[in-house]
Amino acid sequence: MTTAVGDASQIAHAPSQPTLKHALGLRDFTLFAIAGITAARWIPFAARAGPTSVTLWLLAALLFVVPLASTVAALVVKYPGVGGLYLWTSRDFGPWNGFLAFWLYWIGIAFQLPTTAILHVKVPLSLLGPTYSRAGDNRIYLLTITLALVWIAIGTNLVGMRIGRWTENIGCAASWALAGVLICVACLAWTRRGSATEFHLMPHWDWTTVSVWAAIAYATSGMECAGMMAGEIHDPERTIRRAGWMASAGAMAFYVSATIAFLVVLPPEQVSELNGYVDFSRAAGTILQSGWLPFSIAILFFISGVGALGSAGTACSRLPFAAGVDGLLPKAIARVHPKWGTPHVAMLTLGIVSSFLLIAYQLGDTMRAAFDELISTMVITGFLPFFYIFGSAWKAGKYWSATPGLAVTALALISALVPSVAVTNVWLYEGKIVFGTLIAAGSGWLIYRRNGGGPSRHSIS
């Protein structure tokens, strides 16, 4: 396989070329991918939208999850090596587009880590009772715990995938255990008093429904992130293809079953997007007279968050690593730890940026509005690179994957600009999102130009 510029074969075998350890087999990579795709925090959001969200999950599977899994499998075969999105885009659209795609996606993950961490700390504290709930409302206390969670997730993967993979494996197991608890509780509630929700699955299509579906589609992304680990997988061509389908099917089963369980116990109007698990626990506790439920949900939800953070942070750190090898970032970013075999500088950089964003976005607004701003900015910066991903799918001849993927991406970006009812200052909200997106793209351009565009070296082993 030749590169767009230069003699890739010579670069790939240069003595100074940094390499990562091949530590993931089919089982570990499948669990890694499931941890990256599934996020328990999206279940209350879907339940709040009502039973039609079940149909929206299935539509997202058909029009986004399946095309994305097919795209990643094809691109990993076409362009083997470390770098994922950066590698594919650079080969197909040139070095600047490759850098921009990597940069925006990386910034999107930097936004995603703190939003995920906030919820996976705040929700368990709320479940454990009034005393802990008040602590979760204290910004200093909440930020301290949230920062600790981010660094625990990154730190366990920093010391090597042979150890770090267990963070994702355990997180994946916790997510499925949580779904199992929700399903069992819903079944017991059904037998005692029937369903709290009348299930009408046909959506009423209006702008609100479209916005909900776009967010649900974003919730099902993650396979592209797992594809960034291709350079650390045994037999990546075969492993990613098989793991992609298993992980996608498992993730959709999780989302659909957990959403149905929520709606059996609670009607949609009684589900809060931020405190939905607290609402579920209280309603189920009243029906079943169970004291163990809040603690069980709190523990499982917290552990699943560690897995989700570890998966996203670990995979995404491979992007700046690949760009650093190509000379588009400081050489230190491309360093591989001599003992752990991980791009430790790239991982530490992601942790620092995520920590800064977590603190900065808490200034001058309510906690809920700050959360919404983080979500919207995360969707915009995180989804823009999917134009490149599905564009590469089109160039690879995957037209049936590229077409729905590009359409869903465009729809998600438009809907992310619409503020929720919790936003009291629309201009401040939109200003932060637009300014944040422009700053992300502009900073990428400045860094790219400062490094002179760099050589195009895309055969990182």
Going from the N-terminus, what domains does the chain have, and what CATH number goes with each?
Answer: 20-450 (1.20.1740.10)
The residue type at 194: G
d(CA 372, CA 379): 11
Element (H, E) at 210: helix 207-219
pLDDT in the model for residue 6: 36
The DSSP code sequence of 283-294 is HHHHHH--SSHH
pLDDT in the model for residue 419: 67
Q: Are 123 and 277 in contact, with CB atoms under 8 Å apart?
A: yes
Element (H, E) at 322: helix 318-325
**Residue whose C-alpha is closest to residue 84's, from 227, 194, 268, 184:** 227
Q: Are 221 and 109 in contact, with CB atoms under 8 Å apart?
A: no
What residues contact residue 321 under an 8 Å CB cut-off, 6+ apart? 18, 82, 83, 333, 334, 343, 346
pLDDT in the model for residue 20: 62
Structure tokens at 325: 């090898």
Write down the residue that tokens 């996606």 correspond to: 105
Helix (H, G, I), strand (E, B) or coil at 453: coil
pLDDT in the model for residue 329: 82
- Kindly report the backbone phi and psi dihedral angles of residue 339, in degrees, each rounded to the nearest multiple of 5, phi listed first: -100, -45
Q: Are 326 and 82 in contact, with CB atoms under 8 Å apart?
A: no
Structure confidence by residue, pLDDT tens digits, 371-417: 555 555 566 777 789 999 999 999 999 999 999 999 998 888 887 77
Structure confidence by residue, pLDDT tens digits, 333-363: 878 877 777 788 888 888 888 888 777 666 5
The pTM for the full model equals: 0.81
What single DSSP character describes residue 232?
G
**Residue whose C-alpha is closest to residue 22's, from 258, 234, 220:** 234
pLDDT in the model for residue 451: 75
Please report, rounded to a whole number, the percentage of residues in the chain having pLDDT higher than 70: 84
Structure confidence by residue, pLDDT tens digits, 187-221: 999 998 899 998 888 888 877 788 788 888 888 88
pLDDT in the model for residue 403: 95
d(CA 25, CA 232): 9
The lowest-confidence range among 62-76, 212-226, 301-315, 426-440 is: 426-440
Structure confidence by residue, pLDDT tens digits, 82-139: 778 888 999 999 999 999 998 888 877 777 777 788 888 888 888 888 777 777 777 7
Structure confidence by residue, pLDDT tens digits, 217-275: 888 888 887 777 776 777 777 788 888 888 888 899 999 999 999 999 999 999 988 78
